[in-house]
């Protein structure tokens, strides 16, 4: 695997090794030992999730608050999405800044998202299959979210808002200035 840094500490793009021949391809999508060697930290994932979406579906920006915060390893198995993360650690030098990366079944990239970041994505292709691992169980009372169209974030989602398909719940999220967030110096329980 190849691991690439991003503008944020502890956020990494991962390119798994892919072996191709006349039969097709094979790739090892996750190897705990190799990941630990590459990033200097052991992560133990406890659950895999998968979402099937049509073009324009936007999910997020979601996160779990401490002590139930989650590290995620996300990837696209089919289609293409624009994946977005936002630093929500109050006091962080990069607080409120975002990073975007197209993830698709051609580039096969994965994004490792640590605790302290909100996450969302929008499907750019006609359909997508999005998969992610988490290292902590979901806890409904600890769920946090930020409006993806919060103007203070300045996120370009790749499709105009008139083409967005959102759940009713996601349409109700507050802006970053009104959402419960992390404390950069106290809340990262990893």
Question: In sequence order, what E strands does the chain have?
Answer: 2-5, 12-15, 18-21, 24-27, 47-54, 58-64, 72-78, 80-87, 89-90, 98-104, 110-113, 117-123, 127-134, 143-145, 182-183
CA distance 170 to 143: 12
Instruction: Answer yes or no: 62 catalytic.
Output: yes
Active-site position among 62, 98, 119, 173 = 62
CA count, 13 A, side-chain hemisphere, 133? 13
Instruction: Answer yes or no: 132 catalytic.
Output: yes
CB 85 within 8 A of CB 153: no
Active-site position among 63, 98, 132, 173 = 132
How many angstroms separate the first and last alpha carbons of the chain?
A: 23
Query: Active-site residue numbers?
Result: 62, 132
């Amino acid at each position: 695997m190849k691991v690439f840094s991003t503008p944020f500490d502890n956020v990494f793009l991962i390119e798994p090794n892919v072996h191709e021949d006349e039969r097709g391809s094979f790739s090892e999508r996750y190897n705990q030992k190799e990941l630990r060697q590459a990033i200097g930290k052991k992560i133990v994932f406890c659950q895999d999730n998968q979402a099937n979406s049509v073009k324009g579906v936007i999910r997020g920006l979601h996160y779990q608050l401490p002590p139930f915060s989650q590290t995620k390893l996300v990837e696209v198995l089919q289609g293409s999405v624009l994946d977005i993360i936002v630093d929500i650690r109050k006091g962080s030098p990069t607080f409120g800044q975002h990073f975007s990366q197209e993830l698709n079944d051609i580039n096969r990239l994965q994004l490792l998202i640590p605790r302290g970041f909100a996450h969302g994505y929008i499907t750019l292709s006609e359909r997508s299959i999005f998969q992610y691992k988490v290292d902590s169980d979901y806890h409904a009372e600890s769920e946090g979210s930020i409006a993806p169209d919060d103007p203070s974030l300045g996120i370009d989602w790749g499709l105009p808002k008139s083409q967005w398909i959102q759940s009713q719940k996601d349409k109700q999220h507050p802006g970053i200035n009104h959402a419960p967030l992390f404390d950069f110096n106290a809340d990262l329980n990893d």
